[in-house]
């Protein structure tokens, strides 16, 4: 790339300069430089890609309202197809968790209204992300953002996308006019179960992640591609990995979040082949 830039700089000047630039950009040299760059890129990809995020800002924004009791935002005005794979459906309403709300707000795709119909500033949404009762650690949000911006479909671990998709959680009777408290009664147990008491050193499953797909349906999400576990403090021990595998029953990935850098790991059971 250095050579290419050099060529660009030199070209408008005298003929000699242009020739020099041409000589520098001879096939062998430029391909060497390419090779070098490629290696560097590989390195970046596998070890430090956390620092690059490809956030794409949106022009159309949906609107939502923050429901403090639930610790979730309710979608009021739906725009764009983001919502095919974001937010859970309860009683015909779309609710989204703080990580979803914050992510969409960051890229300008979601405006959150206050009680007095003014738009909530970003600073306050960040403030909500820090509140423990909203159930999302900052590390979880970093991991969410990284995967979501790459198109992965992410739901909170163990929480169904829509009430219909899981037989055990039945929608309350009298569907017509349900207020916040009903939502709360359905969800509170789950949310508190998944996120309370997350210890500094514990490894916890946080998200069910599906590979990017345009065919995703909240009513039949299928099995997640993997369950993302957040490891804080220490790497997961063998015992912890085994327990989580038994609990989740699907492939696991582990993530570790440092300031601005999210690393993902697989710790997979393998069987080396017996060779001839």
Partner 1 sequence: MGTRWKWKGAKEKALADPMSQIVCQLQSCLLQSNSQVLLTSSCGLLEADDQQSELLDRACFGYRIITAEKGNRLFTLSMEETFYLFYILKCIKVIGEDKCEKSCEELWSFMNSCSENFTNLFKAYSHLRMKNWVVKPGNLYGADFVAYRHHPSLVHSEYAVLVLSDGQVESNGRLLVWSDFEGALRVTGGVAKTLLILYINKSGTEVTSPSCFENFLVEERTITRWSPEQCREDQTSLKKSLDADKRGHKKVRPKKKPSVKNNLGLIITGGLVCSLLISNCFLLARLWRSKL
Instruction: Give me the residues that bind partner 1 (CB under 8 A), please.
Output: 27-28, 31-32, 34-35, 38, 45-47, 49, 146-147, 150-152, 211-213, 234-235, 237-238, 241, 253, 256, 263-276
Q: How far is the CB of 226 from partner 1 (least distance, A)?
A: 9
Residue owning tokens 């650690």: 137
Q: Which two tokens stand for residue 237?
A: 């021990």
Q: Which two tokens stand for residue 84?
A: 């095919």
Closer by beta carbon to partner 1, 128 or else 157? 157
- What is each CA distance from 164 to 78, 85, 91, 238, in whole angstroms? 21, 16, 10, 36
Q: Which two tokens stand for residue 241?
A: 């990995």
Report the C-alpha gap between 265 and 236 in whole angstroms: 10
Report the C-alpha gap between 42 and 40 in whole angstroms: 5
Report the C-alpha gap between 16 and 9 in whole angstroms: 13
- What is each CA distance from 94 to 41, 85, 179, in whole angstroms? 40, 11, 13
Contact between 203 and 230 (Cβ < 8 Å): yes
Closer by beta carbon to partner 1, 168 or else 239? 239
Cα angle at 265 between 237 and 231, to 5 degrees? 50
Q: How far is the CB of 239 from partner 1 (least distance, A)?
A: 10
Q: How far is the CB of 211 from partner 1 (least distance, A)?
A: 5
Closer by beta carbon to partner 1, 28 or else 199? 28
- Quote the distance between the C-alpha of residue 204 and its chain's center: 16
Closer by beta carbon to partner 1, 72 or else 241? 241
Q: Which of 39, 44, 83 is nearest to 61 (CA)?
A: 83
Contact between 227 and 137 (Cβ < 8 Å): no
Closer by beta carbon to partner 1, 7 or else 49? 49
Closer by beta carbon to partner 1, 41 or else 189? 41
Q: How far is the CB of 6 from partner 1 (least distance, A)?
A: 20
Q: How far is the CB of 248 from partner 1 (least distance, A)?
A: 16
Closer by beta carbon to partner 1, 186 or else 267? 267
Q: How far is the CB of 7 from partner 1 (least distance, A)?
A: 18
Q: How far is the CB of 267 from partner 1 (least distance, A)?
A: 5
Q: Tell me the β-bridge partners of 256.
A: 263
């Amino acid at each position: 790339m250095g050579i290419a830039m050099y060529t660009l700089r030199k070209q408008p000047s005298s003929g000699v300069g242009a020739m020099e630039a041409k000589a520098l950009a001879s096939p062998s040299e430029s391909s060497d430089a390419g090779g070098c760059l490629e290696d560097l890129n590989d390195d970046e990809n596998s070890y430090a890609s956390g620092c690059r995020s490809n956030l794409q800002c949106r022009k159309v924004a949906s609107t939502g309202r923050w429901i403090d009791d639930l610790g979730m935002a309710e979608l009021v005005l739906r725009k764009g197809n983001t919502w095919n794979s974001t937010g859970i459906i309860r009683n015909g309403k779309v609710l989204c968790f703080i990580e979803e709300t914050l992510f969409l707000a960051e890229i300008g795709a979601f405006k959150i209204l206050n009680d007095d119909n003014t738009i909530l500033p970003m600073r306050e949404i960040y403030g909500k992300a820090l509140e423990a009762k909203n159930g999302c650690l900052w590390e979880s949000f970093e991991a969410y953002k990284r995967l979501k911006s790459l198109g992965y479909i992410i739901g909170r671990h163990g929480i169904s996308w829509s009430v219909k998709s899981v037989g055990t959680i039945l929608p309350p009777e009298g569907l017509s006019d349900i207020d916040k408290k009903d939502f709360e009664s359905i969800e509170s147990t789950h949310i508190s179960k998944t996120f309370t008491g997350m210890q500094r050193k514990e490894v916890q499953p946080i998200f069910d992640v599906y590979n990017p797909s345009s065919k995703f349906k909240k009513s039949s999400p299928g099995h997640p591609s993997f369950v993302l576990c957040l490891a804080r403090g220490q790497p997961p021990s063998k015992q912890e990995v085994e327990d989580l595998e038994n609990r989740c029953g699907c492939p696991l990935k582990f993530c570790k979040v440092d300031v601005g850098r999210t690393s993902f790991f697989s710790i997979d059971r393998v069987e080396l082949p017996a060779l001839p």
